[in-house]
Amino acid sequence: MLNGWVLAVVFITVLVSLCNPRGVSDIAFSSSNPPSFSSPFDFSETLHLFSFLSTLQYDFYRQSCPHAEKIVSSSMALIHSRRQDVSASLLRLFFHDCFIQGCDASILLDPTTGDDTYSSEKQAIPNLTLKGFVEIDQIKEELERVCPRVVSCADILSLATRDAVVLAGGPFYPVFTGRRDSTRAYFEEAMAELPRPDDNINRTLYLFAARGLDERDMVSLLGAHNIGKIGCQFILNRLYNFSGTSLPDPSIDPEFLNLMRFKCQEKEHNNTHVSHDQVSPASSPTPEASVETLRRSTLGMSYFQELSPSLSLEGGFDTHYYKSLLSGRGLLYADQQLMADENTGRLVKGYASDDGSTFRMDFARAMVKLSVLDVLTGSEGEIRERCGF
C-alpha cells in the first residue's frame, strides 16, 4: 500500500514538473501556423515515463544505502567548489552515455589491457575530449566505503549530472534510480550515432527522433551549450576547411569569422584537431598522448563570453545561446543549423524572447526523458565495484 502511495506522489510530481504554467505556446509561438511537434505537456509521454516506475524508483536506495543521494550531492558540491567547469563536463559525459544504448554507464568502461579485439566507447573519436571520469570515480569510491556494490555507476552519473546542473544555476528535476551498469561498451555505435558538430539539421533531428526525443527536447538539450567552453577542435573545420573546401563556412558573418579565427587559430589545428571521420580501431588506438592533449586543451569559445565579452565568468542557464543563434553567431555549424528548420527555428526564437523560465522548464523535462532511455534494471547488467571495469 505504501509503495502505491509513493508511486502516486511521484506521478503527480512528474506531472507538475512537466507542465508549463507560463503557457509557452502563447509566448513562443504567435504564428498562425504552429509547429507540428507535441505541446509542452503531453499526457501520453508522461505515461511513458510513468511506466519506468515499475523498475526505476524515486529514492531507490532508501533502504539499501539511505545516504547514497546525500553522498553524491555533498561530493558534487565540494567538487564544484574546486572546479566549476565540472558541470559542463558531466552534462556532456551523461549525454554521450545515454545517447548510445541508454543510460548504462557504458561510457565509463576503460579499454581492456591486452585485448586487441575490444574497444571502449572512450576510444571513439567523439568521446576523446570527454571529461568528468575522475569525478565520477571519486564519488563511486566514497559510496563503496559506505555501501559496497550497491549503487550503480549509471545512477551515480545520473544523480551527479542533475546536481551539477543545479550547481551551475540550472533547474532541479527528479532523478529516478535503480539503473544497473552495462557489462560492455559500444564503440561502433558511438562512432556512428553521436551527433557531430558539423551535422546538418536533418541528421540531428533524425538522431534525436530515433531515441524518442522530439524537436523541443532537442533544442532545449542543445541549450546545455550555454555553459562551459566549446573546444577549438570542434570549430576549426568550419573556419578553415568547411566541407573540405579549404575555405570557411560562407554563412558566417565576416566580423564574427575574424573573431572566431582570432580565438581558434589555424596553427593550433595540427595540435588539437581530430577528424570525426578518423576511425580508431582496437588494433590501432589513438595514442594516449594525443588523447590527453585533446582533453587538456583550454582553447575554445563560450557562448556567454562571445555575447558578453566584457564578462569573464562562465555563463549559466540563460538564453544567450539562443540569442547567439538568432544573430547568426552560432559557434558550431550544427548549432546554427537550428535556424535552418522552421520548427526548430521557431523554438529558438521563443526561447530567446523569453526570460529563461520556458527554456529551463523544457530542459528539465527533456533531461527526465533522456535519463530513462533504455535503462538496465532488475537482474540486467551488473553493479560495478569500480566504474572503469
Sequence letter at residue 221 = L
Strand partners, 230: 301
328 is in an annotated binding site: no
Phi, psi angle pair for 30, to nearest 5°: -95, -5
288 is in an annotated binding site: no
* C-alpha cell at position 347: 523554438
Q: Which one of the listed residues 80, 96, 273, 320 is annotated catalytic?
A: 96
Sequence letter at residue 106 = S
Residue that has been written with the C-alpha cell 505556446 in this structure:
25
CA angle 337, 98, 216 (to 5 degrees): 40
273 is in an annotated binding site: no
Reduced DSSP (H G I as helix, E B as strand, rest coil) percent helix, strand, coil of the chain, to 5: 55, 5, 45
Cα distances (Å, whole numbers) of residue 137 to 108, 170, 248, 389: 9, 24, 41, 11
Which residues does 68 contact at the CB level (< 8 Å), separation at least 6?
Answer: 61, 143, 146, 147, 150, 151, 155
What's the rounded Cα separation, in Å, for the pair 183 and 190?
16
SS3 282: coil
Phi, psi angle pair for 177, to nearest 5°: -125, 175
| Residue 48: active-site member | no
121 is in an annotated binding site: yes
382 is in an annotated binding site: no
For residue 36, the tally of other CB atoms under 10 A from its CB is 9
What's the rounded Cα separation, in Å, for the pair 230 and 330?
11
137 is in an annotated binding site: no
* C-alpha cell at position 318: 540563460
39 is in an annotated binding site: no
Q: Active-site residues: which are they?
A: 96
The binding site for Ca(2+) consists of 97, 102, 104, 106, 121, 277, 318
Instruction: Mark the binding-site residues for substrate, compressed into ranges.
Output: 195
Binding residues, as ranges, are 97, 102, 104, 106, 121, 195, 225, 277, 318
